[in-house]
Chain A
């Protein structure tokens, strides 16, 4: 009996390079690494929370910018010019000028508002109706509201505006919606700032995970030494630590999304109230599936990078003594 047993014990290991075994080992190692994290739930949670908050910050800012851009996008086609004409111009002259401008390729349409119409409108809207009646003559000029055609770029719009302003009949041109452009420029800057901030925060995550893994490696120094004595390669001893980094990143990413979504949920009611004041319904945009994938992907990438950098540096130094 012992003899047959021994034969079994002493047949050489079939180095079954089968992929399924390799995959199976990887999975069981992934499970062991996760189990290790769960064994110290508090310590693990702290690190995951740090990662989650660090990821959630730029993700939330991105979401705010996305919503702001969506809201302001609906104002973009309100980019009209008000061309105030010279007071000396008669209504018919103004009318023919309007038809002339309307023929331009870079103009979609021109709305002609006579001085009388403008005054009527002003009386109604301003509440100064009676006071205006006292005026002996209309102080307002004829006005053309020019809407540039959709084919315009921001440069050609500026060009159009210059040309309109240089017409001899023009008193001055006002772009009521200039601030929309400014707002978009500001959003661009904010986006850029978020990107820069994200890179810094991402670096911080790599450092945090790297440091955590480094401590983990130190705590398991003896185990690493023993496994190396038995013939484990650097890749083999590194693997569980890479899995740990992977789990930190994945769980941190998931928690980050949960935090932001919860924040959106909390803000929904106040935003609805605000939108109600502006008599507009607002749909708060949340993460799309693609964005969720990106956040988790970034978390995993940072986790693996952090653990890899720590493992690569410290694993080689641990050699059996």
Chain B
């Protein structure tokens, strides 16, 4: 599903966020990326989401070489990927349901179709009863779950999440991870950046660790 070959990302200042990284995530896998802040976790996800492009090397996502995705085609490309952010990135001028509906509207779904999917996605994160509320009135954990519902509403095959539990207490974190786990059971591939190693170990998923932009050898755990 995700294939990185000798990927280097160098920033204008000269420092390298990723240095010759090779990485492979199979379809249906749920993989955690760990490492200190600045180790390149976010950069890795940003390359996959085409927010950045690699300085050299290849990033192939679901058979598509991202270097061949033209600027104008980036929106189409992004619609295939669900994204969850540490700060949720919800829009506070509309209701929970409208937030979740956003990717569906962008994709051009019909009103009825969108409504059904929104309710289904919200039910997945157990927030159906709050669909009419403004996300601002929700707790941090609930907001994050709305963000997850939005990410899965258009049924992406791949979901990437950058520190999705970064602002949550352990109980809520576990709850969010269980939601992810459930998607994984239905065949969604997940790549999650996190530093919560204790939690990851409890879930028993594959974990890769980045250090100074490279894979740290020997920590890959199954």
What is the interface of chain A, defined by CB distance below 8 A to chain B? 2, 5-6, 8-18, 21-22, 24-25, 222-223, 226-234, 236, 319-321
Whether A13 and B75, one on each chain, are in contact in the complex, defined by CB atoms closer than 8 angstroms, is no
Q: Tell me whether chain A's interface is mostly helix, strand or loop, or mixed.
A: helix
Q: Of B76, B77, B186, which is within 8 A of A10 by CB?
A: B186
Q: Of A9, A222, A319, which is within 8 A of B152 by CB?
A: A9
Whether B93 and A12, one on each chain, are in contact in the complex, defined by CB atoms closer than 8 angstroms, is no
Q: Tell me whether chain B's interface is mostly helix, strand or loop, or mixed.
A: helix
Of the A-B pairs whose beta carbons lie under 8 Å apart in the complex, a sample of 19, sorted by A's number, is: A2-B124, A5-B124, A6-B120, A8-B120, A9-B121, A9-B123, A9-B155, A13-B154, A16-B108, A16-B109, A16-B110, A25-B108, A223-B93, A229-B49, A229-B89, A230-B79, A231-B75, A232-B75, A232-B106
Residue numbers in B under 8 Å from A234 (CB-CB): 75
Whether A13 and B107, one on each chain, are in contact in the complex, defined by CB atoms closer than 8 angstroms, is yes
Given contacts A21-B108, A227-B102, 20 further A-B contacts (CB under 8 A): A2-B123, A6-B182, A6-B186, A8-B116, A8-B117, A9-B153, A9-B155, A11-B155, A13-B117, A14-B113, A16-B110, A17-B108, A21-B111, A25-B108, A230-B78, A230-B79, A231-B76, A231-B77, A231-B103, A319-B51
Instruction: List the 4 shortest-distance A-B pairs measured between CB atoms, nearest first.
Output: A231-B79, A9-B120, A231-B78, A233-B75
Whether A236 and B106, one on each chain, are in contact in the complex, defined by CB atoms closer than 8 angstroms, is yes
Does B91 belong to the interface (CB within 8 Å)? yes
Does B83 belong to the interface (CB within 8 Å)? yes
What is the interface of chain B, defined by CB distance below 8 A to chain A? 49, 51, 72, 75-79, 83, 89-91, 93, 102-111, 113, 116-117, 120-121, 123-124, 150, 152-155, 182, 186, 188
Q: Of A5, A18, A230, which is within 8 A of B103 by CB?
A: A230
Report the bound CA distance from A148 to B108 in whole Å.
71
Report the bound CA distance from A232 to B105 in whole Å.
9
Whether A9 and B124, one on each chain, are in contact in the complex, defined by CB atoms closer than 8 angstroms, is yes
Q: Of A5, A17, A229, which is within 8 A of B78 by CB?
A: A229
Report the bound CA distance from A285 to B38 in whole Å.
74
Cβ-closest chain B residue relative to A236: B106
Nearest CB of A to B163, in Å: 15
Residue numbers in A under 8 Å from B124 (CB-CB): 2, 5-6, 9
Residue numbers in B under 8 Å from A10 (CB-CB): 152, 155, 186, 188
Question: Max chain A CB contacts within 10 Å: which of B76, B107, B113, B186?
Answer: B107
Nearest CB of A to B11, in Å: 13
Whether B89 and A226, one on each chain, are in contact in the complex, defined by CB atoms closer than 8 angstroms, is yes
Whether A227 and B106, one on each chain, are in contact in the complex, defined by CB atoms closer than 8 angstroms, is yes
Report the bound CA distance from A2 to B120 in whole Å.
9
Residue numbers in B under 8 Å from A321 (CB-CB): 51
Cβ-closest chain A residue relative to B116: A8
Residue numbers in A under 8 Å from B83 (CB-CB): 229-230
